[in-house]
Amino acid sequence: MPATVDPITLDIIENALKNARFEMDNVVVRIALSPVIREQHDEFPMICNERGQMVVGQFGSYIPAIVEKFRGDIHDGDVFVWNDPYACKGSISHNNDWCVMMPIFHDGVLVGFSSIFGHMVDVGGKVPGSMPVDAHTIWEEGLRIPPVRIYERGVLNRGVLDIMLNNTRTPDMNRADLMALIAGCRTAATRVRELCDRFGRETYMAACDLLLERTHAAMKTLIETYIPEEPVTFEDWVDDDGLGNGPFRMRLSIYRKGEKAVFDWTGTDDQAPGPINFHIHEGLCKLFFGVYMIMAFDPSIMFNEGFYDLFEIVLPEGSLLNPRFPAALSNRLNTHTRFFDCQAGALGQRAPHLSMAAGYGTSPHFIFTGHDRDGRYFQLMELLFGGVPGRPRGDGLDGHAWWPLFSATPIEYIENYYPVLVESYRPTRDSGGAGLHRGGCGIEKVYRLLEDGRVSIQDDREIVPPWGINGGLYGGTSSKWIIRAGSGERERLPSKKDNLAVKAGDTIIFITAGAGGWGDPLDRDPALVARDVRHDLVSPGKARSDYGVVLKEDGSVDDAATEALRAAMRAERGEPAPFSFGFTPPERIAAQ
């Protein structure tokens, strides 16, 4: 007979697992060396039940595929590692993500798994950072590791470790980061065994099942409430693939079939020649839809895999979201984040009061490599952020990450460890789309380089702006510039560029996209618009043209002039459009 779990015990186990998941984060960032994991927290932990279903965490779905590969040949003390997206059914989506997994045994009985993947600053390949913008195949993107044991029954497999570290430009950082991921998994295993000791193994395992069942029931209610039986469809676009091709259409249809929600990507463009393809596992696709619905509609729901059987996914083979091997994948986040934009646009048609606009739409990165005056190799990699969408609850965040736990690399860290001065770091004025709730602003970061070397950059939403919703306006696009030392010449760079030769004294200006606004900007409190002007987030000209707010010379609101201007703008405009795109799809241009 299955163990029964009283509500108080279930609550204690739930919160203990949540705490263990955050403890995994803390252990990892204390041990890691790379700025991407140590400072920016680009690592994702989870704790699973004995069937490999995520009970707490951020990314699930992949443990059963790894267990199946080893056909039950899994033992206490084993730790598995891999990074090949094609060899693990898309559980991780580019070679830079090294994933570790360990089984958790209690008195010889398998009770679960712990796992973390984290972004390594370099895994080999044709360019430093291993994310070439001009890759045609995954062979150009660095070392591919199938699922293998890095520890077997507690003993380190030095041959595997040596091969992994021999194929990176940053072996010291990679070794520290890998051991940090393993330490995080071991921490979770310790906490799970403690729970089994405290409450009994059967009670613990039954509690995990109950947590999954509770999320299943809650998601079923969300689907019945917010997913219509008639399909709703939305399209968004990725700028380009780094090889001159694009823009690329992503098309999503959502509807309800019985108690299941169907997410159908039919109509999405074929896979790209360049590295923006997103080889997404069906389970991971379900996870992304689930986390969006939970965060948009009911954040109190525990995020786990309990809802998976309520979702049906259609991923056309050979498309941008289901590419055929050996398609390049390294810059797949341009497509990944547009995934969320399409979901917001589709759901926003039936529940506009709960949806949000589009955001900065990728994971921009800046890489600077070379040798310092002492001949030592350096490799700075930094993820940059942009505008987070306007939303029902308020303005979007300025210069924030898509992933809630990510943080910006401290300028002190960059300047202490790399030959770089960060001359400014600020929001980009007028990049947040106007709305009742303003879209978040992108950021402008200015780097002055102190050594000769090479720079690689990657970004998107330079061509296709982040759209606004419910009358909100689209946000600002991204741009990149270099100012050459001596001449002072300012040259615009493409949004995707590898191995740009730079000299000491050159300046790189990295501007990320903003986000779309939410709601009619003519309904925004004029005092908030005046505040945004004072904070240099909105220009006086945009305050007038987009918000209908007239400011006096001292920056205060001219109430009478504002009321009159807004009345005239409403009369001329009529009802605001449900979406503001700022982009005309190629087929419409051809038809004109």
Where do the DSSP E strands lie in 429-495? Answer: 443-449, 453-458, 468-469, 479-483, 490-493
Q: What is the mean pLDDT of residues 342-371?
A: 91
Predicted local confidence at residue 457, as pLDDT: 97
**Confidence check: pLDDT of 255 > 80:** yes
Do 406 and 483 sit in the same domain of this protein?
A: yes
Strands 496-502 and 453-458 turn out to be antiparallel
Q: List, in sequence order, every residue forming a beta bridge with 381; answer none if it has no partner.
A: 367
- Side chain identity at residue 369, one-letter code: T
Do 39 and 137 sit in the same domain of this protein?
A: yes
Calculate what percentage of the chain has a pLDDT beyond 90: 85
**Confidence check: pLDDT of 590 > 70:** no
Strand order of the β-sheet with 496-502 is 377-383, 365-371, 453-458, 496-502
Predicted local confidence at residue 591, as pLDDT: 52
**Structural domain count, the chain:** 3
Tell me how far apart the alpha carbons of residues 129 and 383 are, in angstroms, rounded to a whole number: 12
Other CB atoms within a 10 A radius of the CB of residue 150 amount to 24
**Confidence check: pLDDT of 131 > 60:** yes
Do 440 and 541 sit in the same domain of this protein?
A: no
Predicted local confidence at residue 4, as pLDDT: 86
Do 261 and 324 sit in the same domain of this protein?
A: yes
Lowest mean pLDDT among 71-80, 172-181, 432-441: 71-80
Do 497 and 559 sit in the same domain of this protein?
A: no
User: pLDDT tens, 549-588?
Assistant: 999 999 999 999 999 999 999 999 999 999 999 998 876 6
Tell me how far apart the alpha carbons of residues 184 and 116 are, in angstroms, rounded to a whole number: 8
All residues at 6 or more sequence positions from 408 whose CB lies less than 8 Å from its CB, including other chains? 40, 384, 385, 399, 425
Q: Cis omega before residue 326 (within 30°)?
A: yes
Q: Which residue has the higher pLDDT, 433 or 65?
A: 433
| Tokens of residue 362, six digits | 């990728």
All residues at 6 or more sequence positions from 53 whose CB lies less than 8 Å from its CB, including other chains? 60, 63, 212, 304, 305, 306, 308
Range(s) of the domain holding residue 537: 523-575
**Confidence check: pLDDT of 183 > 80:** yes
Predicted local confidence at residue 351, as pLDDT: 81
Contact, 73 vs 137, CB < 8 A?
A: no
Three-state DSSP at 560 gives helix
Calculate what percentage of the chain has a pLDDT beyond 70: 98
User: pLDDT tens, 502-554?
Assistant: 999 999 999 999 999 999 999 999 999 999 999 999 999 999 999 999 999 99
Residue 140 resides in a domain: yes
Do 139 and 252 sit in the same domain of this protein?
A: no
Q: Which residue has the higher pLDDT, 60 or 9?
A: 9
Do 206 and 236 sit in the same domain of this protein?
A: no
| Tokens of residue 425, six digits | 């770091």
Do 493 and 556 sit in the same domain of this protein?
A: no
Please compute Rg for the chain using Cα positions: 25
Q: How confident is the model at residue 418 (pLDDT cuts 50, 70, 90)?
A: very high
Do 255 and 399 sit in the same domain of this protein?
A: yes
Rounded to 10 degrees, the C-alpha dihedral 117/282/243/487 comes to -40
Do 430 and 491 sit in the same domain of this protein?
A: yes
Three-state DSSP at 334 gives helix
Final residue of a structural domain among 214, 244, 263: 214
**375: Cα separation from own chain's centroid:** 35
Residue 452 resides in a domain: yes
Q: How confident is the model at residue 90 (pLDDT cuts 50, 70, 90)?
A: low
Do 316 and 172 sit in the same domain of this protein?
A: no
Residue 219 resides in a domain: no
**Which element (helix H / strand E) includes 216?**
helix 201-226
Predicted local confidence at residue 587, as pLDDT: 65
- Model pTM? 0.94
Residue 584 resides in a domain: no
> What one-character-per-residue DSSP string does 136-173 give?
SBGGGG-----SEEEEETTEE-HHHHHHHHHT-S-HHH
Q: What is the mean pLDDT of the chain?
A: 94
Predicted local confidence at residue 404, as pLDDT: 76
Q: What is the mean pLDDT of residues 253-258?
A: 95
> What is the residue whose two structure tokens read 């505008």?
387
Do 251 and 144 sit in the same domain of this protein?
A: no
Predicted local confidence at residue 589, as pLDDT: 56
Contact, 530 vs 494, CB < 8 A?
A: no
Predicted local confidence at residue 59, as pLDDT: 78
Q: Give how far Cα 102 sits from Cα of 92, 110, 153, 187, Å.
A: 16, 11, 11, 11
